[in-house]
Chains A and B, each alone.
Chain A
Amino acid sequence: MKRNLILAGVGGQGLLALAAVIGEAARSLKLHVLQAEVHGMAQRGGVVQSHLRYSDQPIHSALVKEGTADLVLSLEPMEALRYMPMLAPGGAVVANVVAFKNIPHYPEEAAIEREIRLLPNYRLINAVDLAKEAGAIQATNMVMLGAGAPFLALPIEALETGIRTVFSDKAEAVIETNLRAFQLGFEASESAR
């Protein structure tokens, strides 16, 4: 078993927490885990991405090689399209449809969706609506974790434990909201199949 993931988003969207949950879940299953993340300047509202790899065999490079990503999981629609050359043949794209517009010339949203819909394997999720339904818009990242879960080859329980570990210094109510967001994302993704 081996998974190469590209996680995509914009600084401030909670991408690192999303990566941390998957990483923790994989670690708890004693898999080999490598995850490259972006810190520093780019976090000021710029492009943020993380490469995440795990396997039952030893792995060496924290960076995913072009053309080998099993999944591009994106917190933002345009950001998903940035990584097309990374995607393996048949790889999946799971993206939040709610645009994050902090630049003057954001492309036409319909054009973004059109391009994603041309892919053989995609799921588009309104993660903001679901996060609100779960109780907090900040849980958008956990909705997307749930939406990506069908492609992660990790048991749902391990991901839920990962959420508990990563948010362990938060109040129980916050953890519950995140778990609910995860569940809603998972269900939406399965029915968007």
Chain B
Amino acid sequence: MPTRLLLGNESLAQGAIDAGLSGAYAYPGTPSTEITAYVLRSHQAAMGNVICAWTANEKTALEAALGMSYGGKRAMASMKHVGLNVAADPFINSAISGCHGGLIVNVADDPSMHSSQNEQDSRVYLDLAMMPCIEPADQQEAYRAPALAFALSETYRIPVMIRLTTRLCHSRATVTVGQPSRRNDFSYPEDPKRFILLPALARKSYAKLLDRQADFIRESEASPFTEYLEGTDFSTGIMACGTAYHYVREIVGDDCPHPILKIGQYPLPNALIERMMSACDRILVFEDGYPYLEGKLRGLPVRTSPTIHGRLTGHLPRTGELNPGHVAKAFGIESPILNAASAVPSPRPPALCPGCPHGDTCNALNAVLRSGDANGRVFSDIGCYTLSAMPPYESVDTCVEMGASITMAKGASQAGLHPAVALIGDSTFTHSGMTGLLDCINENANVTVVIVDNLTIAMTGGQTSSANHRLAEICTGLGVDPAHIRIITPLPNKHDENVEVLQQEIAHTGPSIIIAVRECIQTARRSRPKGGSS
């Protein structure tokens, strides 16, 4: 069998291609991006006519995957954890309608917030959607997960989530790759009415989903990713979810005296949990992300026997990703005396690349809004331009979630703030800025929207932007007065004109748009288009 050194994300993508994938849709987001980037550059996927696309946002990605599944084919949508917030509506409702061809929702969590604004744990969504989930523990399992998930999905006609975390997504290991299997032919769902979620029909589908829960639990108990390893010392039983299992193995070695329950599939394998709870005096819980399992074990009213130790009891840190040091400490293993940390290094936060077009836009914004009496505020969105929150620019005042720039600026202007400026990238504008702009137009809100069009999705590595050079047309179509759609070129030698345009549009009462067009210097440097950040 051939072996390859693959990232967890690449292993999963190759596993999906080999498992008969027909369609992969995604909006990029660290740490999920390389899944789709891999499918895009896969020769095997291209030869098999696998449809693969960067979509406008995560919701459109998941809906397209659901549609492909309706046609009987195996599909997947991939996103980062906060992307699931955007796709929550199709996520939860597709569990009720069910799917036809196998449907996978890949969600990559980012504990420790390496590249995110929060560390939400996607497993919590399982309680809302009541769909099964597979959590691979390593790259080889990430390769096997899609085949397992597609089979589960087609047995029960239910979408299946695959939960990943940053360390697995972005770690490489030697992976043994298997034989590709056949892709499904087109077919219609045998019971198409279940895709009509009118209340009377939805109630039936919901009842069926509830009935299926017992089957899902049995599947988790029998899953090849779940394992109960016997022990002889019952003073402590160990439960470990996903990658946490390997941190435990690293510390306890191969001959651990305690029983270990490795959990790789949800809903939680109740019978195995019950078995360990009744056999052991204490349960030590290892999981990356929220204390999801630990909270459920504890129950309400709080269960007193056996004792449960984990993130909620201070035996492991409450926040942040696990590492072998934390796990050793939870086992009471003293850490050796370490070399002292050096006081010399200064922090080196990420920054705009030298010569970045966003830098010139921010200089113009600063000239207008950060000088004299600075009543104005800049409501930013998420993208490379958010880095201008840091010195030397310090140009923006907010960054909450994708799309929030235009809508927050609108609300703030209606509260009395002026000038209210929104700063948003081309991709974020098409992701979730356009709808907010429509609100501004309908309410004649007094906001100035600066769209920084660097012709790509730069922050995640230069993927194709859905805006595709059509921002002025989109804004005109939505109803912005063409006299107040201005195009500028963010270059140092255009600074004075750009400042003047900003001043004019801020002085205009009502919505106005300034589109700052200049390509990202990183993508400009690369001649051919590229899929991902690897």
Interface residues of A (CB under 8 A from B): 10-11, 16, 20, 23-24, 27, 32-47, 59-63, 65-67, 78-79, 81-82, 84-85, 87, 89, 102-107, 111-112, 115
Contact = CB atoms under 8 A, between A and B. Distances in A.
A33 B341 CA distance: 28
Contacts of A84: 339-342
Contacts of A81: 342, 344-345
A66 B328 CA distance: 11
Give 7 closest A-B pairs by Cβ, nearest first. A40-B30, A46-B350, A40-B115, A44-B350, A62-B171, A61-B250, A60-B246
Give the interface residue-count category, chain B: 35 or more
A66 to B, nearest CB: 5
B114 A38 contact: yes
B530 interface: no
A111 B170 contact: no
A41 B30 contact: yes
Given A27-B5, A40-B460, A65 B174 contact: no
Contact of A27 (B174, B340, B347): B174
Interface in B139-177: 167, 170-174
18 contacts: A20-B172, A23-B5, A24-B5, A27-B174, A32-B174, A34-B172, A34-B173, A39-B170, A39-B533, A40-B460, A41-B115, A43-B533, A61-B247, A62-B246, A66-B338, A84-B340, A102-B348, A102-B351
Given A42-B115, A42-B350, A78-B348, 15 more contacts: A27-B174, A34-B172, A35-B171, A35-B173, A40-B115, A43-B350, A43-B533, A60-B250, A61-B246, A61-B247, A63-B323, A65-B250, A65-B328, A85-B341, A115-B344
Interface in B334-356: 335-342, 344-354
Nearest to B247: A61
A104 to B, nearest CB: 7
Contacts of A34: 171-173
Contact of A85 (B3, B339, B459): B339
Interface in B367-412: 384, 387, 391-392
Contacts of B387: 44
Q: Which of A40, A59, A79, A115 has the most CB of B within 10 A?
A: A40
B172 A59 contact: no
A39 B350 CA distance: 12
A151 B387 CA distance: 38
Given A61-B324, A84-B341, A46 B349 contact: yes
A6 to B, nearest CB: 12
B130 to A, nearest CB: 31
Contacts of A107: 344-346
B518 interface: no
Contacts of A16: 534
B132 interface: no
Given A36-B170, A60-B246, A42 B114 contact: yes
Contacts of B167: 36, 62-63
A57 to B, nearest CB: 10
B362 to A, nearest CB: 15
A89 B336 CA distance: 10
Contacts of A87: 339
A35 B171 CA distance: 5
A106 B345 CA distance: 8
Given A45-B350, A45-B353, A61-B250, A37 B344 contact: no
B119 interface: no
A92 B400 CA distance: 43
Nearest to A100: B348
Interface string B24-41: 000000110110000000
Nearest to A34: B173
Q: Which of B167, B249, B338, B391 has the most CB of A within 10 A?
A: B338
A176 B384 CA distance: 36
Contacts of B325: 65-66
Contacts of B249: 60-61
A41 B461 CA distance: 9
B527 to A, nearest CB: 14
Q: Which of A10, A44, A66 has the most CB of B within 10 A?
A: A44
B396 to A, nearest CB: 16
Q: Which of B34, B174, B335, B354 has the most CB of A within 10 A?
A: B174
Nearest to A112: B344
A79 B345 contact: yes
Interface in B471-497: none
B458 to A, nearest CB: 9
Contacts of A32: 174
B119 to A, nearest CB: 14
Contacts of B345: 78-79, 81-82, 107
Interface in B87-117: 114-115
A184 B93 CA distance: 61
A111 B351 CA distance: 25
A132 B150 CA distance: 52
Contacts of B459: 40-41, 44
B26 to A, nearest CB: 15
Contacts of B351: 44-46, 102-103
Contacts of B353: 44-45
A124 B39 CA distance: 41
